[in-house]
Amino acid sequence: MTLKYLLDENVDKVYNRQFVYRNPTLMMLVVGDPGAPPRGTLDPEILCWCEEYNFILVTNNRTSMPGHLAEHITQGRNIPGIFIFN
Tens-digit pLDDT profile for residues 17-36: 998 899 888 899 999 999 99
**Rounded to whole angstroms, how far apart are CA atoms 79 and 63?**
19
- Return the percentage of the chain with pLDDT > 90, whole number: 81
Per-residue pLDDT tens digits for 38-77: 999 999 999 999 999 999 999 999 999 999 999 999 999 9
For residues 83 and 59, the answer to whether their CB atoms sit within 8 Å is: yes
Looking at the predicted structure, is the pLDDT value of residue 1 above 80?
no
pLDDT at 26: 87
Please state the φ and ψ torsions of residue 83, each to the nearest 5 degrees: -115, 125
Residue-averaged pLDDT of the chain:
94
Partner residues linked to 84 by β-bridges: 59
Give the residue numbers spanning the domain of 79.
Answer: 4-84
Q: What is the pTM of this model?
A: 0.92
pLDDT at 52: 97
